[in-house]
């Protein structure tokens, strides 16, 4: 019998004073298939020429003129990432949000650049846990029409 596919992923954070020695603890598990590799990649801080475009999985977007150093965890086929942390102490992890909200079939920059080909009656959207040394925020992104703080 084949193993059950993963159905969810979770993020967590502990901020001071809830963690020892004034540390921020951030974690995330992945709901990707068990045989899929998760790469951990380091990208140094970089300056980019003005007007440069960035090629994502499905679309191009304007490239920021300066990017901070970042460590990302992602499947190798994915332009985006499941989680990461930059050199300014900001961490982010994404979560699947299963809703009945329809997905816009047009081109878009996806939460983690996942393929939107799920025959199930539920739609895949994203929420994000954003963390720095002082606070943690949850951003819910549903169909480009809602966001909560």
For residue 70, give its domain range: 11-141
Q: How confident is the model at residue 6 (pLDDT cuts 50, 70, 90)?
A: low
What tokens were used for 81?
């990432």
**H, E, C per residue of the chain:** CCCCCCCCCCEEEECCCCCHHHCCEEEECCCCCCCCCCEEEEECCEECCCCCEEECCCCEEECCCEECCEEEEECCCCCCCCEEEECCCCEEEEEEEEECCCCCCCCCCCCCCCCCCCCCCCEEEEEEEEECCCCEEEEEEECCCECCC
Q: What is the pLDDT of residues 112-146, one digit of tens each?
A: 433 233 344 445 567 788 899 999 988 877 655 54
Is residue 75 in a domain? yes
Q: Considering its fold, how many domains does the chain have in total?
A: 1
Is 147's pLDDT higher than 70? no
Could you read off the pLDDT of 77-114 as tens digits, one per residue?
888 888 999 999 999 998 776 666 565 555 544 444 33
Q: Evaluate whether residue 32 is within a structural domain.
A: yes
Does 33 map to a domain? yes
Nearest to residue 30, comparing CAs of 48, 8, 1? 8
Selected residue with higher pLDDT from 23 and 6: 23
Domain annotation covers residue 24: yes
Q: What is the pLDDT of residue 109?
A: 43
The answer to whether position 148 is within a domain reads no
Percent residues over pLDDT 70 in the chain: 70
> What pLDDT score was predicted for residue 63?
93
Determine, yes or no, domain membership for 3: no
The answer to whether residue 5 sits within a structural domain is no
For the annotated catalytic residues, the residue numbers are: 9
């Amino acid at each position: 019998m084949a193993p059950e596919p993963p159905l969810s992923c979770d993020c967590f954070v502990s901020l001071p004073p809830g963690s020892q020695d004034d540390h921020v603890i951030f974690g995330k598990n992945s709901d990707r298939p068990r045989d899929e590799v998760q790469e951990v990649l380091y990208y140094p801080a970089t300056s980019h020429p003005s007007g440069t475009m960035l090629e994502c999985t499905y679309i191009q977007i304007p490239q920021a003129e300066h990017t901070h150093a970042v460590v990302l965890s992602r499947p190798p086929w994915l332009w985006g990432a499941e989680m990461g942390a930059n050199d300014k102490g900001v961490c982010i992890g994404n979560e699947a949000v299963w809703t009945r909200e329809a997905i816009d079939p047009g081109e878009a920059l996806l939460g983690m650049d996942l393929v939107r080909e799920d025959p199930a009656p539920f739609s895949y959207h994203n929420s994000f846990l954003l963390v720095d040394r002082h606070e943690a925020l949850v951003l819910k992104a549903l169909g480009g029409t809602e966001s909560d703080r």
